């Protein structure tokens, strides 16, 4: 539900300098391309500068160096980090949906489960034996909490989220619909041509202030735990294999696949659809470009890319053919270099 506020009221709460009319009421929000009269937008991406002359937004959150590009009829809120400020404004303008407090009559709560104060348990939720639900937790409709699992205070499980046996979720986390925390790791050993399943007896430990997107999966450890550090943000449809360790404040975009026993450091940024082979390490402060394959450890911070550039199919086939022969070409170049290095009389 949207709450109409004046520019003055927003600035009183969040700070910032106003250039223009502080009494304007913000009646909605929109992108720089699509915002209408009465709405609030923000500008921080130079790639969208072409939309400034046609923007109809009444109020824009903008850095000081870009404010002059907006006309006098647009009220500006001048801040250092416009996107961050805009996200904070959204929290002011959109009221949180009221959630019915208490435990639904259709929920199934085991006798040995422990529920803290002010817990909300939606319809058809299942909480198994020995589970511990801390204070102010919200379990959405049809969420599942397995045996001996622990959910930290103020954490939200959206409808249909699943936290399996023994898994541990920290404080103030958000687990979105369809995610599965603590499924079996992919562990098999071959015997006489058959794959024999190795029991996965570790846990998943998700620390505080994490967010895990819809339909993402985090496998329990084979023996030791799979660990997700403080403040980690995981997008939709991400697969994290058994015994992985993800460092604090790392962010992982959608459709990333991380094989087992990968250690990723702190403050890393993983682009969409990146893939990691197993048993490697990535140090702190590494950026991985979207679609990249990480097949060896990264020991130095920086940005890494392994994406083959998009091209027309015919050109791609020619380039791919050339790449197949690179090793032969290298050998021929060495032979030519050896010939050229001989004395002229030889």
In the chain, what are the domain boundaries?
5-93, 102-304, 312-346
> Which residues contact residue 319 at a Cβ distance below 8 angstroms, ignoring those fewer than 6 apart?
311
Residue 118 has pLDDT above 80, yes or no: yes
User: What's the pLDDT at 346?
Assistant: 60
Q: Average pLDDT of 32-44?
A: 97
| pLDDT for the residue 292 | 97
Cβ-Cβ contacts under 8 Å for 76 (sequence gap 6 or more): 18, 19, 20, 59, 60, 61, 62, 67, 70
Strands 102-103 and 75-78: unpaired
For the cut 70, the answer to whether the pLDDT of residue 345 exceeds it is no
Model confidence at 147, pLDDT cuts 50, 70, 90, reads very high
Q: Give the model's pLDDT for residue 339.
A: 87
Q: Average of pLDDT values for 306-332?
A: 90
Q: Above 80 in pLDDT, residue 79?
A: yes
Position 307 scores a pLDDT of 83
Q: Which residue has the higher pLDDT, 325 or 172?
A: 172
How many whole angstroms separate alpha carbon 278 and alpha carbon 275? 10
Distance CA 327, CA 93 (A): 60
Query: In Å, how far are 60, 231, 240, 277, 300 from 292, measured between CA atoms?
Result: 36, 24, 16, 11, 17
- Give yes or no: 245 in active site: no
Q: Which of 248, 20, 2, 346 has the alpha carbon at shortest distance from 11? A: 20
Q: DSSP secondary-structure letter at 40?
A: E
In the chain, the largest separation of any two C-alpha atoms, in whole Å, equals 98
Separation of alpha carbons 96 and 119, rounded Å: 17
Query: Among 62-66, 86-90, 330-334, where is mean pLDDT lowest?
Result: 330-334
* Per-residue confidence (pLDDT) for residue 125, from 0 to 100: 98
Q: Which of 264, 248, 169 is nearest to 212 (CA)?
A: 169
Domain 5-93 has CATH 3.40.1390.10: yes
pLDDT (0 to 100) of residue 98: 62
What's the CATH number of domain 102-304, 2.160.10.10, 3.90.1150.10, 2.60.15.10, 2.60.120.10?
2.160.10.10
CA atoms in the 13 A half-sphere facing the CB of 76: 20
Q: What is the mean pLDDT of the chain?
A: 95
Average pLDDT over residues 309-319: 91
| pLDDT tens column, 160-210 | 999 999 999 999 999 999 999 999 999 999 999 999 999 999 999 999 999
3-state helix, strand, coil in the chain (%, to 5): 15, 30, 55
pLDDT value of residue 99 = 66
DSSP 74: S
Average pLDDT rounded to a whole number, residues 57-86: 97
Mind listing the pLDDT tens digit for each residue in 134-145? Answer: 999 999 999 999
Query: Given 242, 245, 313, 325, which residue is catalytic?
Result: 242
Q: What percent of the chain has pLDDT over 70?
A: 98
Q: Where are the beta strands (DSSP E) in 21-104?
A: 25-26, 28-29, 39-43, 59-62, 75-78, 102-103
Pairing assessment for the beta strands 217-219 and 239-240 based on DSSP bridges:
parallel
Q: What is the mean pLDDT of residues 298-313?
A: 93
pLDDT in tens, 246-299: 999 999 999 999 999 999 999 999 999 999 999 999 999 999 999 999 999 999
């Amino acid at each position: 539900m949207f709450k109409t506020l004046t520019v003055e009221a927003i600035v009183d709460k969040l700070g910032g300098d106003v250039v223009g009319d502080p009494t304007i009421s913000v009646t909605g929000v929109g992108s720089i391309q699509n915002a209408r009269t009465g709405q609030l937008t923000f500008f921080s991406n130079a790639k969208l500068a072409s939309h400034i002359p046609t923007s109809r937004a009444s109020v824009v959150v903008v850095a000081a160096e870009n404010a002059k590009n907006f006309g006098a009829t647009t009220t500006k809120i001048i801040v250092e980090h416009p996107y961050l400020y805009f996200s904070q404004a959204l929290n002011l303008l959109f009221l949180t949906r009221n959630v019915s407090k208490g435990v639904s009559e259709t929920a199934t709560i085991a006798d040995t489960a422990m529920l803290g104060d002010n817990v909300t348990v939606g319809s058809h939720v299942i909480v198994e034996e020995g589970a511990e639900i801390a204070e102010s937790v919200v379990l959405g409709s049809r969420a599942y909490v397995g045996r001996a699992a622990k959910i930290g205070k103020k954490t939200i499980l959206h409808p249909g989220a699943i936290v399996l046996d023994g898994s541990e979720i920290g404080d103030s986390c958000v687990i979105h619909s369809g995610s599965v925390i603590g499924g079996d790791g992919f562990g098999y050993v071959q015997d006489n041509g058959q794959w024999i399943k190795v029991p996965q007896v570790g846990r998943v430990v998700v620390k505080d202030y994490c967010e895990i997107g819809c339909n993402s999966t985090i496998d329990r450890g084979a023996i030791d735990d799979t660990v997700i550090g403080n403040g980690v943000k995981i997008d939709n449809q991400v697969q994290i294999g058994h015994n992985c360790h993800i460092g604090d404040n790392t962010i992982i975009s959608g459709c990333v696949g991380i094989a087992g026993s990968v250690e990723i450091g702190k403050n890393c940024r993983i682009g969409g659809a990146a893939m990691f082979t197993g048993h490697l390490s990535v140090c702190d402060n590494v950026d991985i470009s979207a679609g990249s394959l990480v097949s060896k450890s990264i020991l130095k911070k920086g940005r890494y890319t392994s994406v083959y550039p998009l091209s027309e199919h015919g050109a791609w086939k020619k380039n791919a053919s050339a790449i197949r022969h690179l090793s032969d070409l290298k050998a021929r170049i060495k032979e030519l270099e050896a010939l050229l290095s001989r004395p002229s009389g030889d």
